[in-house]
């Protein structure tokens, strides 16, 4: 029943983002419209894939760092990706893939550094060090980003700024295809780790005694969730709060068992981002808001409510 409802919401979200938009497309011409086929449809699908990926990455990272308020971008990836993107903009790299690739490389660099920091003090990948390392690396990357942006001219600055807040206006069928081929691999790795992730909520030693190969699980989950987030940030910029709020909402309905939680976070995250992107395109049409602004405006109040609920419980 709740699955049916979730799928209906997701289908409606996708339908709305195809039907709605600044250019009026009559319903009977929907399937023949270039705007729909070349702009709205790939954009809706990309939003769905990115939102779903962020939802799953967030849910798994929350279990990994054992903090229910963790966001996939907390581990420094957004800083690295932002730096990569801003460098690409400053160097006037052109071509549709220059920015995504630069952002992806930046995110991978941040991932590598944070991972390396996490290994300090043994091979244990201490979640506390991961979190602090992520914040530190993110701040470092943000400092360099700001230095570059402050030297850039106005048009570049606007581009960089907009990119940092996330947007799906660069969506194309190519991008959809790339994400659709790439994402299933880390998604499958995370889904396969559902049971050990359940156990990890008890702590590492209890999880080990219940049969989890804790070190291997932590490595796999950290890398898979980060690679998923890196791809999402590469194609759409930094879209905050989806990876934080969606897992929470999914937990309220599906509980804490990751076998159900992760798929629910995927569909829910996809639906939420499709809706947020539709709002970003339509509320100030013909102009457009960065979708990260919309998710933050929705996400922060929800986050505050969740925080309240969490600290009271």
Partner 1 sequence: MSPLLRLTNVTYRYPGAPRDALSGVSLSVGPREFHAVLGPNGSGKTTLVRVALGSLAPLEGRADIEDRPAQGWRRQELARMVGVVPQREDNLFPQRVRETVLLGRYPHLSMWGRERAEDHAAVDRALAACDVTDLADRWLWTLSGGEYQRVRVARALAQDPKLLVLDEPGMSLDLKHEMGLFELIRGLVDTQDLGVLMITHDLNLAARFADSLLLLESGRPVASGAPADVLTQETVQAVFSWPVSMQTIDGRPQMIPLRQTKESRA
Distance from C-alpha of 198 to C-alpha of 219, rounded to nearest angstrom: 16
- In the complex, minimum distance from the CB of residue 79 to partner 1, in angstroms, rounded to a whole number: 26
Among 71, 126, 198, 277, binds partner 1 (CB under 8 A): 198
Inter-helix orientation angle 173-182/184-192, to 10°: 30
First to last CA, the chain: 27
307 binds partner 1 (CB under 8 A): no
User: Does 199 contact partner 1 by CB under 8 A?
Assistant: yes
- 66 belongs to the binding site for partner 1 (CB under 8 A): yes
- CB hemisphere CA count around 120 (13 angstroms): 11
Q: Which of 209, 283, 305, 308 binds partner 1 (CB under 8 A)?
A: 209
- 184 counts as binding partner 1 under rule CB under 8 A: no
Verify binding: residue 202, partner 1, rule CB under 8 A: yes
Q: Which residues contact 229 (CB under 8 A, 6 or more apart)?
A: 53, 54, 57, 72, 73, 75, 77, 107, 243
| Nearer residue to partner 1 within complex by CB, 20 or 202 | 202
**Tokens coding 278:** 């539709």
Phi first, then psi: give them for residue 96, nearest 5 degrees.
Answer: -65, -25
Nearer to partner 1, 68 or 170 (CB): 68
Q: According to the binding rule CB under 8 A, does residue 68 interact with partner 1?
A: yes
Binding residues for partner 1 restricted to 238-267, rule: CB under 8 A: 251, 255-257
In angstroms, give the least distance from the CB of 256 to partner 1: 4
Based on the shown chain and the rule CB under 8 A, indicate whether residue 213 belongs to the binding site for partner 1: yes
Sorted by sequence, the CB contacts under 8 Å of residue 137 that are 6+ apart come out as 76, 79, 80, 110, 113, 114, 117
A 10 A CB-CB count for 56 gives: 35
Contacts with partner 1, residue ranges (CB under 8 A): 63, 66, 68, 192, 195, 198-199, 201-203, 205-206, 208-214, 251, 255-257, 313
């Amino acid at each position: 029943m709740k699955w049916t409802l979730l799928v209906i919401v997701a289908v409606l979200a996708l339908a709305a983002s195809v039907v709605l938009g600044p250019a009026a497309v009559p319903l009977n011409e929907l399937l023949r419209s270039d705007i729909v086929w070349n702009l709205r449809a790939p954009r809706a699908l990309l939003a769905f894939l990115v939102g779903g990926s962020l939802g799953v990455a967030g849910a798994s990272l929350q279990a990994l760092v054992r903090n229910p308020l963790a966001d996939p971008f907390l581990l420094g990836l957004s800083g690295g990706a932002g730096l990569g993107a801003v460098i690409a903009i400053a160097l006037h790299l052109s071509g549709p893939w220059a920015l995504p690739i630069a952002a992806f490389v930046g995110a991978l660099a941040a991932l590598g550094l944070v991972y390396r920091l996490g290994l300090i003090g043994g091979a244990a990948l201490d979640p506390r060090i991961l979190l602090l390392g992520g914040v530190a690396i993110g701040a470092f990357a943000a400092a360099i980003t700001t230095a570059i942006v402050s030297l850039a001219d106005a048009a570049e600055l606007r581009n960089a700024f907009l990119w940092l807040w996330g947007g799906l206006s660069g969506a194309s069928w190519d991008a959809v295809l790339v994400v659709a081929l790439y994402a299933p691999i880390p998604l499958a790795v995370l889904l396969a780790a559902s049971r050990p992730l359940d156990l990890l909520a008890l702590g590492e030693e209890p999880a080990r005694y219940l049969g989890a190969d804790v070190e291997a699980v932590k490595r796999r989950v950290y890398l898979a969730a980060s690679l998923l987030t890196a791809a999402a940030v590469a194609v759409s910029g930094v879209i905050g709060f989806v990876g934080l709020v969606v897992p929470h909402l999914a937990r309220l309905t599906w509980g804490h068992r990751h076998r159900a939680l992760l798929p629910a976070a995927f569909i829910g995250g996809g639906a939420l981002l499709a809706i947020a992107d539709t709002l970003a395109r339509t509320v100030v049409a013909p102009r457009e808001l960065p979708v990260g602004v919309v998710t933050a405006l929705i996400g922060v109040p929800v986050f505050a409510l969740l925080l309240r609920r969490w600290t009271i419980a």
